[in-house]
Structure 1
Amino acid sequence: MAIDKDLLAILCCPETKQPVSLADEGLIQRLNEAISRGGLLNRGKQGVTQRVDGGLVRADAKIFYPIRENIPVMLIDEGILLEQIG
């Protein structure tokens, strides 16, 4: 998944204002495996059922924001707590 470098430079976590970086393929694979197993929740307590093609990780590596149709979804409730995947 590619994202414009200028856009990435201005994006930040909407909650903490920490910078975000592009998630690596290993993390995307682990998230998709967890989605396939079921039980993965976003911060809005909704089940995550749609596989992710890419995403952004908060600087403290606690939150993942999905990219859907090449658009970063930077909503607090759409963030996924990474502690769920170990």
Structure 2
Amino acid sequence: MDKRLLDILCCPLTKAPLRALSEAELTALNQTITAGDVQTHAGARVTQAFAAGLITRDGRTIYRVEDEIPVMLADESIATTQLADFPRA
């Protein structure tokens, strides 16, 4: 993802800055999605693994990236509190 774009993006819920998910974070997220234990902020079950994602710098909220385009919809965000094995910074 273009660093200039990443520098201007922020969480629509908290206005916190974002960074790209690390490989360890992406792996942990996708394992939990595969287990069927992930829901969006709106309560919908997440069934498709992420190829890439963004996370708030405080590590609380994840947004998916599809075809290098960030999906910055609050209802589709994922709270990391529901991810038991998620790496904490």
Pairwise TM-score range, normalised by the shorter structure: over 0.9
SS of equivalent to 2:26? helix
Compute the TM-score of the two structures, normalised by the length of structure 1.
0.93
2:54 paired residue number: 56
CA RMSD of aligned residues (A): 0.8
Runs of 4+ residues deviating >6 angstroms: none
1:78 is aligned with what amino acid?
Answer: E
CA distances 1:13-70 after superposition (whole Å, capped 9, x unpaired): 0111110001100010011101111021010100001110111111211100111121
2:60 is aligned with what amino acid?
Answer: K
The correspondence of residues 1-86 of structure 1 with structure 2, limited to 5 A, is: 3-86=1-84
Instruction: Could you tell me which runs of 5 or more consecutive residues in structure 2 were left unpaired when the two chains were aligned.
Output: 85-89
Instruction: Could you tell me which runs of 5 or more consecutive residues in structure 1 were left unpaired when the two chains were aligned.
Output: none
Name the % identity.
39
Q: Distance in 2 between matches of 1:39 and 1:26?
A: 18
Compute the TM-score of the two structures, normalised by the length of structure 2.
0.90
Q: Distance in 2 between matches of 1:39 and 1:30?
A: 12
Number of residues of Structure 1 aligned to a counterpart in Structure 2: 84
SS of equivalent to 1:48? coil
2:87 paired residue number: none
Q: Distance in 2 between matches of 1:34 and 1:72?
A: 21
